[in-house]
Structure 1
Amino acid sequence: MTPSLATYIALPGTTAEAMEHWHDVFGGDLHILRYGTMDLQGMPFEPDPQAVDHPSRRHGG
């Protein structure tokens, strides 16, 4: 089993920039899911299409 760590951080509109910086520093695979690429039907609010819904960075393994 490979050890893993899942951390959730809330950033004020700078999530993509922070994740790109950490990717530059640590490498690995970076994935950024933005609201504009999702089906928003039934969403209780209308988010900015460029806003980040879920980022992830996987290192190694």
Structure 2
Amino acid sequence: MRILVVEDDPLICEFVVECLRDEGFDVIHAADREQALSWCGRQVADALVTDVQLPGTIDGWETLS
């Protein structure tokens, strides 16, 4: 299973990505919505884990849509 993690805080991101990889998941990280959408334009993720309070005008809730 491939999981896309969208998180701008480096410490939280490192923790979440490491935990998911330890459980055997293929994890891709994006620091913001733009990176996430760029990645999604090239590949498909099975699941999304996103920060709700992302920097910029688009938050994590809007990233889901």
- TM-score (normalizing by structure 1): 0.31
| Rg comparison, structure with higher value | 1
- TM-score (normalizing by structure 2): 0.30
Structure with the higher fraction of residues in helix conformation: 2
